[in-house]
Amino acid sequence: MSVNTVQFQTDADRMQQDGDRREFLRTALNGYILTRSGQQSKYGDYEAARTTAAAIKWQAIENLGEHLERFADNLEARGVHVHWCSDAAEARAAIVGVLKKHDAKAIVKSKCMTTEEIHLNELLEKQGYDVVESDLGEYIVQLRREAPYHFVFPAMHLKRGEIRELFERELGDAPTDDPEALTMIARQALRQKYLAADVGISGANFGVAETGMISITENEGNARLTTAMPKVHIALMGIEKVIPRFADLAVMLPMLALAGTGQRLTGYNSQFAGPRQEGECDGPEEMHVVLLDNHRTELLAHPEERDALRCIRCGACLNVCPVFKNVGGHTYGTTYQGPIGSVITPHLRGMKDWKHLSNASSLCGACTETCPVRIDLHHHLLRNRHSAAESSGGWAERMQMRGFALVMRQPWLYGIASSLGRWAHTLSRPIHGTRLDPVYAWRKTRDFPAPAPKTFQQLWRERKKDQPPRH
């Protein structure tokens, strides 16, 4: 069992015992679902919009090389420095190279999960840079030395009182539970960081190949300050974020807002096409775009799961996932949580160490049903389970699956197994949930439903026996 599997099970057990936190989480996500439903009903034909969004992303992925080259050419034509990075180490080196070139000391960041993916903050802090997250949720979890809990709502697991105590301890401010007052405390601290920053680092929600622009979606205006106030702007972007045309944003931006936060459109949607040009009054003097592969092209080459690259990181699949609601975001132990994280993480970070995430799903299909770009998430999780069993499953797991397949294919064996199961359920009651229980891992926190008094086969035979003969 890998270290990551043990960590997942340990954290999931801890979360199971924290009923108050789980209830808080479910209440928050139920509110999201209601808000989203209200906005979704305002679409003339929401399913048609989903189909269009999926087609845009599918076209982008199917012609990824062509769109990326066009995107980079257009960026460079406006004076942007483009860095092609095959993995996290190359991306970190490219960013640190820019920082050293400008003798930077202070860095302000807007929300970017790709920087979490390459562990950029940890590296920069070790090298002595003053790095601060400017998104409020990200700033809160940074002060707590935590990873984001959810890649859209990074501090959704925290209550007002916990944030009040955090600000009182870390910022030395007066205690208050008022959300607006807490926001103003953070704002006051962050304003000084913007003014002192040498470099601003952002992500990108989309890269437009046609125009050579990056598009950033946000609600706080912090990304605009991050990209405009420092003299240098660095944008880190996964290569799958490219879309073909500027007009595609007319579909993708509302879809991202609706699926991500239940909004018709987010507060700020900005497009950046290069450093400040002659005659322009604002913008950075220098701009860099770092394009990150980090195993995405390996996923692109996968014939059955490449459509996972259509993901726009809206987080909608997390919000409806019954497993996420019960185990929470930190339990996943990886940058991308929930169903989409369970699909792509084994491909990005190794099937052997992350195959357990494929089992963190009830396969209910709610994730697939809610995905705005129609990624077949729950079937991808099934395929990952198959790949894990084929490539890295132990002999015990293989024997169990072969035995299960044999029983399910032979009705007489299934009948015997059903009878034995009924007897075992009755006889095992004295050791239920104890260490002596053969299925302790399952029954320590839950129970099997009691077997029905009669099996389906028994009921079928009785029904046929009671029916009068046909003439």
- Give bridge partners of residue 69 from the DSSP assignment: none
Confidence tier at 300 by pLDDT (50, 70, 90):
very high
Least confident piece of the model among 39-43, 69-73, 289-293: 39-43
pLDDT tens for 192-225 read 899 999 999 999 999 999 999 999 999 999 999 9
pLDDT tens for 146-178 read 999 998 999 999 999 999 999 999 998 777 889
Task: Classify burial at 91, counting beta carbons within 10 Å of its beta carbon; exposed 0-12, middle 13-18, buried 19 or more.
Answer: buried
Q: What is the pLDDT of residue 213?
A: 97
Q: Average the pLDDT over 240-265 and give the result.
A: 97
Judge whether residue 257 has pLDDT over 70: yes
Judge whether residue 328 has pLDDT over 90: yes
Q: How many residues are given for the chain?
A: 471
Judge whether residue 470 has pLDDT over 70: no
In order of their start, the domains of the chain are 43-294 (3.40.50.10420), 317-392 (no CATH), 395-466 (no CATH)
CA–CA separation, 248 and 71 (whole Å): 14
Confidence tier at 393 by pLDDT (50, 70, 90):
low
**Cβ–Cβ < 8 Å for 80, 287:** yes
Q: What is the pLDDT of residue 392?
A: 65
CA distances from 58 to 242, 243, 250, 316 (A): 11, 9, 16, 19
Q: Average the pLDDT over 312-340 and give the result.
A: 95
Q: What is the pLDDT of residue 471?
A: 61
CA–CA separation, 471 and 468 (whole Å): 9
pLDDT tens for 52-87 read 999 999 999 999 999 999 999 999 999 999 999 999
- Average pLDDT of the residues of the chain: 92
Give percent above pLDDT 90 in the chain. 75
Q: Average the pLDDT over 293-309 and give the result.
A: 94
Q: What is the pLDDT of residue 308?
A: 96
Confidence tier at 243 by pLDDT (50, 70, 90):
very high
pLDDT tens for 424-440 read 888 888 888 888 888 88
- Residue 315 burial (CB count, 10 A): 26
CA–CA separation, 341 and 349 (whole Å): 11
| Nearest residue to 187 via CA among 136, 129, 127, 118 | 136
- Helix then strand then coil, in percent of the chain rounded to 5, is 60, 10, 30
Least confident piece of the model among 27-41, 364-378, 418-432: 418-432
The angle, 0 to 180 degrees and rounded to 10, between the axes of the packed helices 46-62 and 64-77 is: 80
